[in-house]
Chain A
Amino acid sequence: MRLLTHNLLSSHVRGVGPRGFPLRLQATEVRINPVEFNPDFIVRMIPKVEWAALLEAADTLHLIQVPKEPIQGYEHNEEFLRKMHHVLLEVEVLEGTLQCPESGRLFPISRGIPNMLLSDEETET
């Protein structure tokens, strides 16, 4: 699970609503994968990033050199874009957990795949 994905995931436990985001990340195994840098793609993603969630997750993973916010003229700032590219796409959590901040429900991450399945009782109706 990459951090860009984490930035989207929220808990759908019954009754939790928007307070199910962001999920608290805990990682026991992390891998760094080099991924081809596509600046146009990163530029388009920047406006969609939930920064607080990203920073919190990056912090949990002890990542350094993580930009705190989009900087002026980021579209042309390669250094900034490369840092974002690294944070969003090159850090992969292989084993760990995601926790719903409201209900405390834990979702395991195993072999890079988060398991977000809820039981019938837990799902919102």
Chain B
Amino acid sequence: MAVVSAGPRSGPAPGAHFFCTAGRGLEPFLMREVRERLAATQVEYISGKVFFTTCSDLNMLKQLKSAERLFLLIKKQLPFPVSSVSKGKIFNELQRLINDDPESWLNAISIWKNLLELDAKKEKLSHKNANPLKRKVGEDDITAKKLKTEQIQDIQETKECQLEKQIEEKILEQGNFITEGEKFQELQNDVTEAVDTRNQTNLTFRVSCRCSGAIAKTITAQEVGRVIGITLMKQFGWKADLRNPNLEIFIHLSDIYSVLGIPVFRVPLACRAYIKTAGLRSTIAWAMASLAEIKDVYYVGADVSDSQLSGAYDNLRAAGLEDKIELLKVSVTELPLPSESIDIIISDIPFGKKFKLGKDIKRTLQEMERVLRVGGTIVLLLSEDHHKHLKGGEARSGPLNSLGGHTEEPGGEECLTPAEKAAVSELVPSSFTAGNQECLDGMPPLGSLVPVDCYRVSLGKTDALISKYKKAYSPGR
């Protein structure tokens, strides 16, 4: 392969096609992100996946915050006709996915390699700059090392991502059947160590399948995986490897589409390297922060729980943000802050049965309302129950006894901020237009807090509502 000059602007072949999986409800955030960060075109979404085209390189792609995983698109097409069709027929269709159009596959692989090699070259360049006397590292070595590093990273990250993966799979499941193609045992060769990515016939691969909807009744994901795997081996001469493949192929067959892709990173984007103690789901946290219109601010994180604060501190250290975010052990029901001193509040209101809905949430909101400046913004994550409760239109007056509520997401982006933010006088919904109107209609004003935006999102087992409010006036107290 010709050496690509690694200038500052070089990227993969113009306009590579990608898709991301996203938690239900986060698709609008992701669409906005790919447009803003990646100048993406041809952006569209269908139920949990956002498709787009971009020239961006791995570094830019890595920065997506509202996506679960990122894939290079091999193929997207209409769903398989399933009614009164035999398995044999479906197997044929599956084979045709590969045999009718091997170019798509080879194309996608080549883009994938380009992305990795470009990234490897950048590493090489920085090696070179760092130590010019070092032996010149070969291109193959770096790419091989990179793939190897990613594999090791995969193992290390696996534990941290267990929960993430479970949640991811729950979000995407909903009638899906998932397998990792265990039937491959009889077909695979021994694990290959050396990686020569220039020679395609030495590629090892693994197939991941999901089947949902009507097709899942006729054929299992395992069977799909097996057919695809055998066809790939025959067509391209690749070898299967379940444990440490070079290449992973991802297939999702549903009632809406048939999608094939290559995961670009081994570890899901949603798995942040800098989060040591998991709290709120990273993608949801980011979505909330993105709604809060944060400019240059002073951040203060508050919680009653020592363990939460300690986890938050670990995350701050891992992210190098200890200097930027202050932590306080306070109860959100009794904030030791002057009235109207804060510009933005972001909070994950506690869920769960032991949190006394009625009193605590009202008290919490009263305090938040009190400390917030007129024109300030609040972004809350509310459970269905909270939402219903607030909708109930009960009297909002009357202070009540309180229990401490925990409000913190130990991820470094939550804030109660006393810093400057341009005062916002108009209260129209933000320019982010994909808000859920029905959900917004269900939000009553809370005292002087006027609802501005609302998104229903999935947290795996349950749904929640990201609700944004602005303080319209100073309640005369």
Chain B residues touching A, majority SS: loop
Chain A residues touching B, majority SS: loop
Segment 292-326 of B: residues with Cβ below 8 Å from A = 296, 298, 300, 304, 309, 313, 322-323, 326
A5 at the interface (CB under 8 A from B): yes
Given the complex, which residues of B lie within 8 Å of A40, measured CB to CB? 296
Interface residues as binary, A15-52 with B (CB distance below 8 Å gives 1, 0 otherwise)? 00000110000000000010110101100110010000
A125 interface neighbour in B296, B399, B404, Cβ under 8 Å: B399
B402 at the interface (CB under 8 A from A): yes
B402 and A123 within 8 A (CB): yes
B337 and A8 within 8 A (CB): yes
The total of chain A residues at the interface (CB under 8 A) is 33
Given the complex, which residues of A lie within 8 Å of B322, measured CB to CB? 33
A12 and B334 within 8 A (CB): yes
B338 and A115 within 8 A (CB): no
A97 at the interface (CB under 8 A from B): no
B336 and A10 within 8 A (CB): yes
B329 and A114 within 8 A (CB): yes
A113 and B327 within 8 A (CB): yes
B304 interface neighbour in A33, A117, A124, Cβ under 8 Å: A117
A117 and B331 within 8 A (CB): yes
Given the complex, which residues of A lie within 8 Å of B327, measured CB to CB? 112-113
B99 at the interface (CB under 8 A from A): no
Given the complex, which residues of A lie within 8 Å of B328, measured CB to CB? 1, 5, 9, 113-114, 116
Interface residues as binary, A55-79 with B (CB distance below 8 Å gives 1, 0 otherwise)? 0000000000000000000000000
A117 and B420 within 8 A (CB): no
Considering the chains assembled together, what is the distance between the CA atoms of A113 and B302 in angstroms? 10
What's the least CB distance linking A95 to chain B, in Å? 14
B448 at the interface (CB under 8 A from A): no
A10 and B337 within 8 A (CB): yes
6 interchain pairs, CB-CB under 8 A: A48-B420, A114-B328, A116-B336, A117-B330, A123-B334, A125-B401
Q: Can you name 17 extra interface pairs (CB under 8 A) apart from A5-B326, A113-B329, A117-B330? A: A1-B326, A1-B328, A5-B300, A9-B336, A12-B334, A12-B336, A35-B323, A41-B419, A45-B419, A112-B327, A117-B304, A117-B329, A117-B404, A118-B331, A123-B334, A124-B399, A125-B399
